[in-house]
Amino acid sequence: MQVCNKSEVENIKLSVYFEKNVLSPLRFVNKTLTSRLTLSVNLHLQPETMSIHTKNWGLSEADFNVLQAELVRGGESCFQKVFTQNYKRYANYIRSEMKLSYDDASDVTVEAFVKIHRFLKEGRVAYGNLDAYSMQVIRNEYLMLLRKRKQMPDADVEVNERELIDEAYDESTLQQFEQAFDRLGEDCRTLLQRHYYQKMSHRDIGVALNISEDASKTRTKVCRNKLRELFLQLLNAA
């Protein structure tokens, strides 16, 4: 299956290779030619290769790397194609296996893909058996749905699925924290987002905002203190 169109793939490959400075342009051309040869060979896939692709949303390992690289760069088109090409199969599976309604099966599948998107972006998913991995996430989402509807006690959630559930804080705490964050000024919100979410270093933030590295550190500290103050106010008011 071709996940992204050829130009998208080549653009991403180009930028990834050159950004990382891994290959010289000559080696890049050589490697691209080789990959094109591999592509044409893949048209006559061997049974073992076929099964590997089938287990991995129809992707080759190179396709998977392209998909992951695109997600890290904020692109969505490859992931959307994977989703639209696999959605029906997973939704039908969960619907028939767990006797879910059409809407519930759709919700569970979408939620699972939201999680998969995040895990892919964070590099927590490896190529190998993406199909089995997706089924696991979908089953986990199904358990979450049951939990939300109080049809199953917490203890029934298998231990190995707990890391996927990832719910350390209750909803009201998270909402209060979001409120506190929203009350910060635009500058603070941007600064915290860059540092704690986009993982930008203070040096890079300094360059982006035209301030020194130390100034970025100081401002971050001020914003963190302000956030703490606002959050504690909200917690204590509740």
Partner 1 sequence: MIDKYKKGILSEQEMDQTEEKLLKKMFDRKADEEVRQNLRFQLEVLNTSSETSEDTSTLTPDADAPGSALRVVHRNKWMTWAAAASVLLVLGAAWWFFGRSTVEDLAAEALAANYLKTEVAPSLSNVMDDSQVTATEQAARDAYLQGDFVKAARGFAGIPPATAAQFFYLGIAYLKQAKPNYSSAVNGLLQARKLGNGWQEDAINWHLALAYLGQKRNTEAQQELENIISVGRDNVAKAQLLLEKMK
Catalog residues that contact partner 1 under the rule CB under 8 A.
76-77, 80, 83-84, 87, 106, 110-111, 113-115, 117-118, 168-169, 173-174, 177-178, 181, 192-193, 196-197, 224, 227-228, 231-232, 235-236
| Nearer to partner 1 among residue 22 and residue 114 (C-beta) | 114
Are 229 and 222 within 8 A, CB to CB? no
Q: Which residues contact 150 (CB under 8 A, 6 or more apart)?
A: none
| Nearer to partner 1 among residue 17 and residue 202 (C-beta) | 202
Q: How far is the CB of 13 from partner 1 (least distance, A)?
A: 20
Q: How far is the CB of 170 from partner 1 (least distance, A)?
A: 8
Backbone φ, ψ for residue 201 (5° rounding):
-75, 165
| Nearer to partner 1 among residue 17 and residue 95 (C-beta) | 95
| Nearer to partner 1 among residue 11 and residue 173 (C-beta) | 173
For 5, other C-beta atoms within 10 Å of its C-beta total: 12
b/e per residue 137-175 (b: at least 16 CB within 10 A): bbbbbbbbbebeeeeeeeeebeeeeeebeeeeeeeeeee
For 179, other C-beta atoms within 10 Å of its C-beta total: 13
Q: How far is the CB of 121 from partner 1 (least distance, A)?
A: 8
Q: How far is the CB of 115 from partner 1 (least distance, A)?
A: 8
